[in-house]
A and B are shown apart, each in its own frame.
Chain A
Amino acid sequence: MNVLFDNFTLFRKGFVGTVELTLAAGLIALVVGVLMAGCRVSPVRPMRLIGGAWVTVLRNTPLTLLFFAVVLGLPRFGVVLPFFTLAVLALGCYTSAFVCEAVRAGINTVPVGQGEAARSLGMNFGQTLSLIVLPQAVRAVIPPVGSTLIALAKNSAIAGSFSVVELLGTYRTLNELGYDIVATFLWIAVGYLIITLTLSAVFRILEKRLEVAR
């Protein structure tokens, strides 16, 4: 217990860092993921290709390699940004590929007849998408996007080893200060459990709220 109370500020800083990292990267992942999913289902071939390439490359790249390229490589390439921003970019882009696939699968679950009915009522593409297809797709998309964002929270641990302040990184300081390392890891574990369990609870509630009998 002492480890936690003696170094509460440090733990809090790491915890907040992980939460910030997760939220910022999650936002990027959602925006880019939905955009890329839009590309992948669009009738325009070059856009489909761009979306496909984005997903294939990012899903098959180890996140550590991506961090290596973005956090250590980009600055040498003339792109100089704070470590935190670079970490958010790496995490966000990586996760966006998974979000994209979830959204695309969700759009595919909407029966073709729904869109046909909308068009026969005279709706244009924008209306069909925003009023008919997306609201139905969202329900199918929530569980996979939820697990993707939980994976994101867990993946953010890697950022700590690339000089970003986050929860896992706190062990280093505490180890140097001579605290019991097992207890330190116990509290780090508790911190991650709080984040992942909260996220899964939020998504369970969302799922319940938006559930509809088909």
Chain B
Amino acid sequence: MSVEASALYDIPGPKALARHRTYGLIATVVLLGVLAWVIYKLIDTGQFAGDKWAPFEYVGVQKLLLRGLWHTIQVFAWAAVLSLAFGAFFAAGRLSDHRVVRWFAGLVVEFFRAMPVLVMIFFIFIAMKVEPRLALIAGLTLYNGSVLAEVFRGGVNAVPKGQSEAAYALGMRKTSVMIHVLIPQAVRTMLPTIISQLVVTLKDTSLGYLISYEEFLYAGKQIATNLDYSLPFIPVVIVIAPIYIGMCMLLSGLARYLESRRRRQHRGT
């Protein structure tokens, strides 16, 4: 990356460059020091010992992990689809011409947005005695759906007013203005935000761990708490974390790509 214009500093001259190199060196040394300490600690506490890594060699354990991962993906897919539908429905409600509908949709959306997801999941799981998987999907849908409703509403409101005025002038009805003119434009601008919210949904599927739903993290916990392998907490984190982070980074990468493409198109025309 070449040095970009910034409000903070000039393009550095030779003296400043030398200084920056010194700072860079110090930062690198500090970072390497921290890494070395972590590695020393890992070895010192025996995290690389064979028996802690043994479980990952068993087919049963690998199957357990894969099943957990599959459950995570299933819950994510359900929650994503349902929360998109929920969001679309309540966004339509908030944009309604009827005050009662608007007021009710607003109340629902604001309430679920202000509430921790976990409280909802626990409520559905414990008070309503729903099975863990459904409770997880329902909780995620209520929360993410409400956030998405606000995203959709913002997107529709951000479409220039002239668009709907022109459509009405052509004699289109309320519904068809919405479906044919406003929503297609809103979705285009909102797509990066929607996908970022889906990253949140994906991350939150791990809350299933707390209600003992057998998703990926829970599978990891079952291995980590096994005394036979001398409680391999750290190895489990080392195995599981990159997979979670990788999945989320793929999705956020998609969101960033769409965002940059949208910006380019905006500038091009």
Q: Which residues of A contact B (CB under 8 A)?
A: 41-47, 50, 56-57, 59-65, 68-69, 72-73, 76-79, 107, 110-116, 119, 125, 128-129, 132-133, 154-158, 161, 168, 171, 175, 181-182, 185, 188-189, 192-193, 196-197
Contacts and interface: CB of A to CB of B under 8 A. Distances in A.
Contact of A112 (B3, B6, B16): B6
B6 A185 contact: no
Contacts of B61: none
Contacts of A128: 7-9
Nearest to A168: B119
B8 to A, nearest CB: 6
Interface string B113-151: 011111100110011000000000000000000000000
B189 to A, nearest CB: 18
B117 A154 contact: yes
A204 to B, nearest CB: 14
Given A61-B203, A62-B217, A192 B6 contact: no
Given A61-B245, A193-B114, A133 B252 contact: no
| Interface range on chain B (Cβ under 8 Å from partner) | 35 or more
B244 interface: yes
B97 interface: no
Contacts of A44: 20, 23-24, 27
Given A44-B27, A65-B206, A107-B7, A182 B127 contact: yes
Closest 3 CB pairs of A and B: A115-B7, A60-B248, A62-B206
Nearest to A196: B114
A188 B202 CA distance: 25
A157 B116 contact: yes
B45 interface: yes
A192 B28 CA distance: 42
B249 A56 contact: yes
B252 A59 contact: yes
Given A63-B203, A69-B241, A181-B127, A77 B7 contact: no
